[in-house]
Chains A and B, each alone.
Chain A
């Protein structure tokens, strides 16, 4: 691969952009994400909906954890709670040992959604620069970092394009580059490849593995796809719906992310883990939960 080795803050960056990296050492002592007894209820006109009921979860620093489950199992809700885009009804969350709100204000995590969510009036480059710009990084530092990231995701030639000139897969790669802009130690991803076709999807999955190996960031990854979860993760958290709960945690262990390649998808160990996750999803009653995509 033609990507340069990941460079920790050697770029002429200064100021807040460096903050997450600077806190890295201290942060690695605490787990990336700690969820204890979290409950989230939504009240609507038709009554109360329990989206999450007593959820516990620990994501170690540098670990890749997928959340999988049928629609309505609260996996996206859980991710939003970690990102402090929503607040739990009860229970506690910590990101690197700190409340999510503090982690958010410290820019401890990067985030990517199902929609790429690029600002349509900004070029690819300035979209990647957005978080750096908002947090007051200098122009030179922003440019250097954006160039580095666009090379990393293989879009250096498209820096001046506008988002609508890019395909969905390319837009999503820009969104991932943007999420990595501030060298977060944690990446939160909510079905980022959900809208992509199968071939593009496999391609960006492999790319994500490589990026993750290069950055050493922990990842919490929400998905509908069992093979995707197995291929990417160190552990797969299987959730069930109504109420949203953690049903089982399936360890994957297909080797270090940097050694994993497309060949793994045809490996027996891979199929074995896919089966394990599927069985966990089906549960003891043997019926397939709706909304899970078994591709």
Chain B
């Protein structure tokens, strides 16, 4: 455990050293071969010093009198993005489990659904986002009001459901013949078999699927925030600060680190889930 922490810290330090080392040694215009720049420029605009990034994070966001310190603004945005991604993840996991269950239950459903599940992931996200937003805005169910953040969550869910449905389908089909025979000999129906055998047996396949889904949900949220133009999240913040990069190059790095933080928290939650389900991950009996 301690060793792992040390290694993790060492990795981050090495990355920082590589950044500063390259900036120190490489020419300002980067490494150019003929007409091609094969390694990036090292000017302060392209590669600000790490300490400049840190110093900028402590300063206020902008010159307004009531402006928050940059790092606080980034944390708020990161929390917002994480919230939307979490909603997308939960919806994606539920939908993924549901499709996997239907596919496992009905053979015809598997051959009918599976190609579409795979095909769904080939639709470019950038093309999809504005469509989802437009459909959502036309939705009116009583007092329910469709919000832009929901469109972002839908896109996150759209990316998250895929690994879950594939992983869960494999997992639900994984019980041994002897276990299925046993359940049949008990004369119990599909639902009890599902609950007592298939679902627990699916856990080892589900854990990595949940991790992939979390990563997908975070990426989906950040990208969809940009293409839908949702304010308040980290994705939009990266684009906004990037626009003023030439004047304030260190500023845009704060939301980038914020995005990394969102990813780390999502991965951490998955580790906790895996730990809670450890009992279902013991190796099969001989």
Contact = CB atoms under 8 A, between A and B. Distances in A.
B279 A121 contact: yes
The B interface is mostly helix, strand or loop, or mixed, namely helix
Given A107-B187, A111-B185, A113-B181, A120 B285 contact: yes
B182 A162 contact: no
Contacts, number: 68
Interface string B158-169: 000000000000
The A interface is mostly helix, strand or loop, or mixed, namely loop
A82 to B, nearest CB: 11
Given A85-B181, A134-B186, A120 B283 contact: yes
Given A111-B182, A113-B181, A119 B200 contact: yes
Contacts of B179: 117, 119
Contacts of B192: 134
B87 interface: no
Contacts of B63: none
Interface string B53-84: 00000000000000000000000000000000
A139 interface: no
B178 A163 contact: no
B38 interface: no
Interface string B173-203: 0001011011111111000100011001001
Interface of A: 83-85, 104-107, 109, 111, 113, 115-121, 130-131, 133-135, 162-164, 168, 171, 195
25 contacts: A83-B185, A104-B184, A104-B187, A107-B187, A111-B181, A113-B181, A115-B176, A115-B178, A117-B176, A117-B182, A119-B179, A119-B200, A121-B203, A131-B186, A133-B196, A134-B183, A134-B186, A135-B188, A162-B279, A162-B282, A163-B285, A164-B282, A164-B284, A168-B286, A195-B286
Chain A to chain B: the 8 pairs with minimum beta-carbon distance, closest first: A117-B178, A105-B187, A121-B280, A163-B285, A111-B185, A115-B178, A134-B188, A104-B187
